[in-house]
Amino acid sequence: MACVKLGSKSDAFQRQGQAWFCTTGLPSDMVVEVAEMSFHLHKFPLLSRSGVMERLISEASEGENGCVIKLPDIPGGAKTFELVAKFCYGVKLELTAANVAYLRCAAEHLEMTEEYGEGNLISQTENFLNQVVLRSWKDSLKALQTCDDVLSFAEELNITKRCIDSLAAKACTDPNLFGWPIMEHGGPMQSPGGSLLWNGISTGARPKHASSDWWYEDASTLSLSLYKRLISAMESRGIKPEILAGSLNSYAKKYLPGLNRRQAASESSNRLAPVGSVASLSEEEQKLLLEEIDQLLPMQKGLVSTKFLFGLLRTAKILRANPSCISNLEKRIGMQLDQATLEDLLMPNFSYSMETLYDVDCVQRILEHFLAMDQVVGDASPGSVDDAQLMGSPSLTPITMVAKLIDGYLAEVAPDVNLKLPKFQSLAAAVPEYARPLDDGLYRAIDIYLKSHPWLAESDREQLCRLMDCQKLSLEACTHAAQNERLPLRVIVQVLFFEQLQLRTSIAGCFLVSDNLDGSRQLRSGLMGPNDGGWATAVRENQVLKVGMDNMRMRVSELEKECSNMRQEIEKLGKVKGPSTWGNVSKKLGFRLKSQMCSAQEGSVSKQNNGNVKIEKAKEKHGKEKKNVASDE
């Protein structure tokens, strides 16, 4: 830290308890009282430097110890007046960035102008402030920190504004162009020969490149009011939003303990945080800080991590922050919900009602913000696009990730017995149908909910199962659903039907692929040599395909057995209740039309096989006729 030495005399002041005495050999003829401290001094050194002291001495009445003067409002208090008294006596003292603001304000308050002596305290402090302090990042920061104690006086003299402008100018400049971040923030850099970097010019040492966040830690030492003004000054100078957001992130983590605890739990680093790294603020101060950070943070996607935003939202709910602050944080999270994790979404319910273990309503609002933003960004309506385009469209990647995230969240909150069915349905139905390529995750969440709520009526179970599309279940999910006793009978039948239909369609497709491979075998054998590797690869693929077909045939036969057993059971029930029961059941299940489609597909496959058999027989007959003609000749 830079300093200027004033005065030439040796120290002639001595402290005894709550009193200071001047040991020049002459008895003191006045007493100056500042707060609880008293200074036994002489009139002439003070009145020759200060206009205020001159007036007070002339107006004061003489007592036993001379005149008594009280200075209750002097900036900086007794410690600053001690330096002022030393300056008046010409005693040695150091003018530094830590005391220049106090001394400048005290000199103005005491009217220590050039009229009362050349090189008076006002001019000395003003020159040091302009020529030394404001040219240095560290000194400007230190002077600004001391302005908090004498803020009203510093504002009148523009000390605060000048320090903030100096810091903002340095922070907005490329740190690799100048020397202050290197020489002051990171310490002087030395080469092996001992030379230093001077003004950004290498004198033998390897240049050190500073990153754009070099000032974050220093700025976080400022009070909230001064930090806000510094951020506003930087913003007016056109600093990048991501740099500004990084500083706000650093400031929040220093003063909001909840953010640091969450970060420490999620990080795998073994480094311990330094003791006292988080400043202690009251709950009201933390609440005010959080609301101010929300106001300062630009409303833009990707400036800060989603984990940090969720940490702010949790803290805001704990501290009962302003509803507008909570709403803004939910909107920010909604803008980048696709970057969140399941752990982020699992926020405890901090409301007084405590209806549910987790705050499901908050997640629903965040999802709605995301969907509203997705509709604004999207160019076309998803309903007007082909399914194949939907699956491969890059713009749908975020919403697909969000759908998977919400399905995982539903599975986590489903075991909560206090989670009502309408709330579960509302969150599950909020995700658009096109966002889920498969409904396996939704099926898992529904199954967990049914298991945790066994008292649900059959109608509620059917209503809940309508959320998922049985045609979008994978084979593994279909196998599990077909044996799931918690699902309604109608859903199980639908799952079996669509699984059988899917398998039959796949088998029909496999037959077509097999015929194409057999037809191209002769062509490949005529065109390719025996050592060509392409034909061997095709043979291996054909073998793998045939093994898969065999497995599917076995699975189809098993499903047909299960389906026939179910039909027998339903027919038994129909015999007891009446002959029209099976028709009514099939109508309720919406099964009759689908079964006709299935049988039609079976007929098409069998016709195709019969056609192939007839062609083979015709070929054999034609060959026999050729043999007979040859023998006759």
Q: How far apart are CA 243 and CA 249, in angstroms?
A: 10
* Confidence check: pLDDT of 295 > 70: yes
Q: Over the chain, what is the mean pLDDT?
A: 77
Q: How far is CA 437 from CA 160, 373, 385, 406, 472, in A?
A: 59, 21, 15, 14, 7
Q: Using only C-alpha atoms, what is the Rg of the chain?
A: 42
DSSP of 593-611: HHHHHHHHHHHHHHHHHHH
Q: What tens digit of pLDDT does each residue of 342-373 get?
A: 999 999 888 766 678 899 999 999 999 999 98
Q: Which helix (H) or strand (E) holds 4?
A: strand 3-6
Judged by average pLDDT, the poorest of 250-264, 274-288, 294-308, 419-433 is 274-288
Structural tokens at position 515: 């015929």
Q: For the chain, what is the total number of helices (H) and then of strands (E)? A: 28, 8
Higher pLDDT, 198 or 257: 257
**Section 389-416 average pLDDT:** 78
Q: What type of residue is 49?
A: R
Backbone angles phi, psi at 104, to 5 degrees: -65, -45
For 157, counting Cβ atoms within 10 Å of its Cβ (0-12 exposed, 13-18 middle, 19+ buried), the class is buried
**Section 454-468 average pLDDT:** 88
DSSP structure class, residue 304: S
**Section 442-468 average pLDDT:** 89
Q: Per the CATH hierarchy, to which homologous superfamily does domain 3-131 belong?
A: Potassium Channel Kv1.1; Chain A (3.30.710.10)
Q: What tens digit of pLDDT does each residue of 322-345 get?
A: 999 999 999 999 999 999 999 999
* Confidence check: pLDDT of 23 > 90: no
Q: What tens digit of pLDDT does each residue of 603-615 get?
A: 444 444 444 444 4
Q: What is the pTM of this model?
A: 0.70
Q: What tens digit of pLDDT does each residue of 301-318 get?
A: 889 999 999 999 999 999
Q: What tens digit of pLDDT does each residue of 86-105 get?
A: 999 988 899 999 999 999 99
Residue owning tokens 């995230």: 405
Q: What tens digit of pLDDT does each residue of 495-507 get?
A: 787 777 766 676 6
**Section 551-566 average pLDDT:** 77
Contact in structure between 31 and 66 (CB atoms under 8 Å): yes
**Section 13-30 average pLDDT:** 82
3-class state of residue 160 by DSSP: helix
pLDDT of residue 195: 47
Length of the chain: 633
Q: How far apart are CA 326 and CA 420, in angstroms?
A: 24
Instruction: Using alpha carbons only, give the angle 322, 286, 102 rounded to the nearest 5 degrees.
Output: 125
